[in-house]
Each structure stands twice: as C-alpha cells, then as structure tokens.
Amino acid sequence: MSDVKKAVLAYSGGLDTSIILKWLQETYDCEVVTFTADLGQGEEVEDARAKARACGVSSIHIEDLREEFVRDYVFPMFRANAVYEGEYLLGTSIARPLIAKRMIEIAELEGADAVSHGATGKGNDQVRFELGFYALKPDIRVIAPWREWDMKGREDMLRFAERHGIPIERKREGSKSPYSMDANLLHISYEGYDLEDPWHEPPESMWRWTVSPEKAPDQPEYVELRFRGGDVVAINGVEMSAAKVLMELNRLGGKHGIGRIDIVENRYVGMKSRGCYETPGGTIMLKAHRAIESITLDREVAHLKDELMPRYAKLVYNGYWFAPERKMLQQMIDASQAVVNGEVRLKLYKGNVFVVGRRSDDSLFDERLCTFEDDQGAYDQRDAEGFIRLNALRLRMEAFAGRKLG
C-alpha cells in the first residue's frame, strides 16, 4: 500500500501529463487532483477538464492566473532589467514559482500529501518547481515520474498510452510542431528536434508569434509607454491592467518581427542546451524601462542595479524566486523604482525597437548642465581641472615610482 494518499498534479491535458496521471494512479494507488494554470499560453485550458474527468479525476482545478503572473512575477523581474547570459528574458523561468505556489496552496486545501510535475530529469524545470515546493511547504512529498519510471522516450509513452486506453491525438502530418514548446504571456520557447544541432538554422515555419523581420511592415510604428513605479501602466495614453499591457505589446512586437532569439544557454543541471524564444512584448518593455531609468535614476543607483542584475537573473533562472537573497534584492530594486515614472516613445521597425523620446517629472536630466551653448553659469568648466588632477593622483604616483602601466 502506497504511503501517498492524494497528489496534486500539474496537468496540461496533453499526452505527457495524461500518462503521468494514469501512472500516478497505478503506481501509487492514490487519488490525483489536477491543476491547470492559464498563464496566457494561447491554448484552450478548459479541454483539460474533460480529459481529467475521463481519467477518473473528481477534483479538478483550472485557474486564470494571467493578471497575477504579469503583476506579481513578470513586472517585478523587469524592474530589475533581468536578462540571463546577456540574451534570455526568462520567460519559462518566471512562470514556475507561480505554478509551484498555487500547487502548494491547492495541496493544503485538498489535504494532499504529495505534488507531482512532468519535468524531465535533464532540465531546469524540475529544479524550479521543487525549490518552490520545498520553500513553501518543506515537508511536502514530491513525485517526479521522469526520475522514477522506466520509460525512456516518446515510443515508450505511446505504448503505455495504448495499453491504458489513453487517447492519442492524431493530427495531419505537418500540422503539429515537432518542437518541445512552452508558452505564457511573456514568451514562447522552442527546443528539441533539429534545434539540437546548434549549426542548424530554425525554419521560418517554426515561429508562432512574430512575423519575419523581412516581412514586417515597411513603415515604422510609434508607440508611447507610460511608467509608474517602474511598471508600464498605459500604452498610447490608454491605461491597462498588467496582463493587458503585455498582451498589447506582444501584438505590436509580433506585428513588427520583434523579440526572436536563438541561443545556447547553460542549464543549472550542468549541460548546455539550444533554445529559440519569442518575447515580443518583453523585448519592447525592457528597452523602454531602461530608457525611463536613464533619466530618472541616480548614476550610482543605476550602476549598482546593473551590477546586481546578473545575480538576480541567475536566481530566477535557477529557481530561487522564494529564496531570501532574491527577496532582499527585490526590496532594493523596488525602492529604486519610486522615481521611475514618465513616458517613453519608441519606434518599432523590422525587428528593432528604437528609443526616440523620454520624459519625466522626476527626470535628473538638466539641459542647462549638458548644453553646448551658453549655460548661463550653471556649470563652471574650470572645476574640471581639479577633479581630473585628483583622480590622476594615484596614476601620477605610479609613474613617478617608475612603474609601467601600459
């Protein structure tokens, strides 16, 4: 008899999690509760309800988490300008802590003693999910089927599905993407198949959200974003909720071929992996956020944020959203954003985002100080001589001592 009585499963309704659902019932002889999160992945999540019922699940949780996802996870991350290894905007990484949080809440509501996910033993998601689970409920039992069962790949799973009468969706050849994909309001990712060869260029047919930059409109489009406390609150003067902001930026970015990247990244478990990502709205938002910070943040605050950003991004990528150091960094970052208010004007054109204007009532930009014309005494240029001589003092001492610096 299994010591697991009830388990909460992160359930998409697809083949993999349908197999996991049946495997849990069979292997652990336990009740399974399913949880399906709508994070803006663009699929009909309600289909999961019928599929779960067909598998004998009586307690089914399907939730629209789009607003919470953008407001409480995406926006705080973008206040930090977080980018992993110079390019990745962390679209998959930032969704995992929210899913983990809701699974633990549902486990407590349902009186479940275990949670389960479909992440493989090779990837980052197993780490992200489980670090979240343990941070929020340290005594929870975690079941990771890919680390337990003897199935090695898709053919084994198809045979399992056939033996247990699990419906397999048969689609016309060419109608289903061969790639492993993950989508939410921030991004869509592609891995596997021919992308496993890092020399192979991804086919144009792979991309779902963005047009090719070559086929984007021949005329640029201007857009104005309004920031309040470091977050975008309005587009072209129209105030919107957090999720609607990102949806509209995705539409605009997709139309103009913005936000495609093709990278080889370093997974937390140790291997390198090649992935392609579409993050149209996030690419626009990051560019605009840095622009409004450029006129509102003190120089040393801005530079300190840039020094902290890689550490923050690595914490998110590796799954440490609920760790005390991430929370500490977030408090520092959020404190800096009180003055990050104003408007940024952007030009979108064939895969590019150009900043063409920025203004703020909290701006530190003083035209009198930087003008090439008469500054009316705002800055005494003679002061620069003493500034330079003091900063050169240690260099002069090195030279006087006969030390070669070059």
Please pick, among 66, 79, 96, 274, the residue that the annotation labels catalytic: 96
Q: Are 172 and 182 in contact (CB under 8 A)?
A: no
Q: Which among 338, 336, 202, 225 is positioned nearest to 283, based on CA atoms?
A: 225
Q: Which tokens sit at 78?
A: 């973008």
Please pick, among 12, 18, 125, 231, the residue that the annotation labels catalytic: 125
Q: Which among 358, 346, 364 is positioned nearest to 302, based on CA atoms?
A: 364
Residue 16 is among the residues annotated as catalytic for this protein: yes
Q: At what angle do helices 280-296 and 299-318 cross, to 10 degrees?
A: 150
Q: Which tokens sit at 246?
A: 């990102």
> Distance (Å, rounded) from C-alpha 93 to C-alpha 124?
8
Please pick, among 16, 38, 116, 226, the residue that the annotation labels catalytic: 16
> Distance (Å, rounded) from C-alpha 316 to C-alpha 322?
9
- Give the start-end residues of each E strand in 280-341: none
Q: Are 348 and 253 in contact (CB under 8 A)?
A: yes
> Distance (Å, rounded) from C-alpha 241 to C-alpha 238?
10
Residue 96 is among the residues annotated as catalytic for this protein: yes
Longest alpha-carbon distance in the chain: 86
Please pick, among 47, 59, 180, 363, the residue that the annotation labels catalytic: 180
Residue 180 is among the residues annotated as catalytic for this protein: yes
Measured in degrees and rounded to the nearest 5, phi and psi for residue 225 equal: -110, 135
Catalytic residue list: 16, 96, 125, 180
